[in-house]
Amino acid sequence: MIALTLAQISDATAGRLLLHGADTPDTEITGTVDTDSRNMAPGSVFVAKPGEATDGHLFVAGAVDAGAVLAIVEHEVDAPVSQIVVADAVQALADLARVVVARVRARGRLQIVGITGSNGKTTTKNLLARILQDEGETISPIASYNNEVGAPLTMLRVTDDTRYLVSEFGASAPGAIARLAGLVRPDFGVVLMVGMAHAGGFGGIEATQKAKAELVQALRPGGTAVLNADDSRVAAMADVAAAQDAAVRWFGTGPSADVRATDIEVHSSGTSCTVTVGDDSRRLDLRVLGAHHVMNALAAIATATALGVSLAACVERLQTVQIAERWRMQPLGSDRVRIINDAYNASPDSMAAALRTLAQITAPGERTVAVLGAMSELGEYAGEEHDRIGELAVRLRIQRIVVVGDAARRLYLAAVAEGSWDSEAVFFATADEAYDYLVGELRDGDRVLVKSSNSAGLRFLGDRLGESFS
């Protein structure tokens, strides 16, 4: 975090300052800010956030032992450290992030990019950060730090030397993106797609569309909306941009897109396409598996080129990215049995895209195996969406469908009803049972997709399979 005095932090968070030891209101704090006491280092600020399973106030003493010099708390704690008592620790974290980013922006050349979409946020964030890091100090989220805690923690990492802040905005309910993006008013707002992810929390895809448009509404005056021309619901956000006096930069596969991809090819070692920006065309060979990641790359290129990075530099840097993120289309195993671990997150759209990728990269004589778990946060749509994925897996001629977990049982039943034969589809209640089956079932030439939402825990099954067949 940039240097702030205890008094300035107290003012930013609307808190009551309780001094300890030799501290005064003018004592400067420059350390990192975190809600996890295990991440403390000398000079850090610990935010004691109450949680569902435990309470951060119980870990203040441990944070101090690890080096914390300030605790932001909701009630005074018996610990040898200066404290700022606030009404709501999560809100205080957001308020502090707003103040820090505003100060950096006012005295530097900080450019802020916000990214949202039903799928692809983390991949796009990583691709864009890879491009921009060679241009200047770039701050981007660790993993998927995109919620009411993770987004402010990312913002608080900016310094006076930071040139780019890339923020990822997720949401589980309407208004969440507006609150997070409103903290910083981005210069660029990237909207990737509107799909069924989190539809249960939003109340349907129309409500999801409205929620994603909150990023465009939060753009600062003169900002730019970077929109997916191939997604009609995203394309409709051009009207929202116009109402904000924001420019629109399009990416997609059609001729009208400002940044477009043609000649897309999917193969076992990655994805290739030709990218055109204006009169310049370049061949892009991504090591990231899946045609759906082409759109994520286009979004990153559209933003970077608007920031003045050449297409040639974008392509060169993107081609150094080996995986988007751990557990996201991550190749494991060996050439003998290839495991694709994509079980960090899942929605109907990403599940369908991953299954299509599996079918596309499997050569004649090789066998497709899909290990599938539940898709979470679909609410009333869960049943029909799991049915649809089970049917799709059969229609894509996936040769072995392994369904894991009671929450995904309808996917299994739909695959059987669609025309599964000769035990093509099998069901296991636990990942351990599925692992035991797969260790004995998999053979040379198998290409195996492991895909589920994070809550299903299949990412660890993917890791075990990758190790077993390495």
Q: Is 98 part of a structural domain of the chain? A: no
Say whether both 56 and 123 belong to one domain: no
The answer to whether 37 touches 59, Cβ cutoff 8 Å, is yes
Residues 307 and 407 occupy one common structural domain:
no
| 315 pLDDT tier (thresholds 50, 70, 90) | very high
Q: Looking at the predicted structure, is the pLDDT value of residue 154 above 90? A: yes
- Determine the pLDDT at residue 457: 87
Range of the domain at 372: 330-468
* Strands laid side by side in the 338-342 sheet: 330-333, 338-342, 446-451, 367-372, 400-404, 425-428
Indicate whether 312 and 357 sit together in one domain: no
* Residues in the annotated binding site: 117-123
Nearest-CA neighbor of 412 among 432, 434, 435, 444?
434
Task: For residue 222, tell me if it sits in a domain.
Answer: yes
**Res 425: pLDDT:** 92
What is the reported pLDDT for 202?
Answer: 61
Do residues 270 and 312 both lie within one domain?
Answer: yes
φ and ψ of 420, to 5 deg: -60, 140
Percentage of residues of the chain with pLDDT beyond 70: 97
Do 291 and 338 lie in one domain? The reply is no
pLDDT digits (tens, 9 = 90+) for 64-112: 999 999 999 999 999 999 999 999 999 999 999 999 999 999 988 999 9
- The DSSP H or E segment spanning 26 is none
Residue 420: pLDDT above 60?
no
Domains: count for the chain: 3
**Does 385 lie in the same domain as 345?**
yes
Is residue 153 located within the same domain as residue 210? Answer: yes
Assess if residue 325 is contained within a domain: no
Asked if the structure places residue 40 within a domain, the reply is yes
The CATH number of the domain holding residue 440 is: 3.90.190.20
Confidence of residue 201 (pLDDT cuts 50, 70, 90): low
Segment 209-230, tens digit of pLDDT: 999 999 999 999 999 999 999 9
**217 and 249 in one domain?**
yes
Q: What does the pLDDT read at residue 177? A: 95
95 domain-assigned: no
Q: What is the 3-state secondary structure (H, E, C) of 373-427?
A: CCCCCCHHHHHHHHHHHHHHHHHCCCCEEEEECHHHHHHHHHHHHHHCCCCCEEE
Q: Is residue 415 part of a domain?
A: yes
In CATH, what number is assigned to the domain containing residue 199?
A: 3.40.1190.10
Q: Which of 280, 295, 318 is the last residue of a domain?
A: 318
Residues 6+ apart with CB under 8 A from 353: 119, 290, 291, 292
Residues tagged in the binding site annotation for ATP:
117-123
> What's the CATH number where 10 sits?
3.40.1390.10
Q: Are residues 267 and 180 in the same domain?
A: yes
Domain end: 318, 342, 365, which one? 318
**146: pLDDT strictly greater than 70:** yes
Of 89, 119, 134, the position where a domain reaches its end is 89
238, 265: one domain: yes
Question: What is the pLDDT averaged over residues 350-360?
Answer: 93
pLDDT in tens, 19-49: 999 999 999 999 999 999 999 999 999 999 9
Same domain for 57 and 120, yes or no, is no
- Residue 61 CA, chain-centre distance (Å), reads 32
Q: What is the dihedral of CA 253, 340, 434, 405, to 10 degrees?
A: -40
pLDDT at 335: 85
Q: Nearest Cα to 21, choosing from 65, 83, 66?
A: 83
In a domain, 96, yes or no: no
Is 192 contained in some domain? yes
- Considering the domain architecture, whether residues 254 and 179 belong to the same structural domain is answered as yes
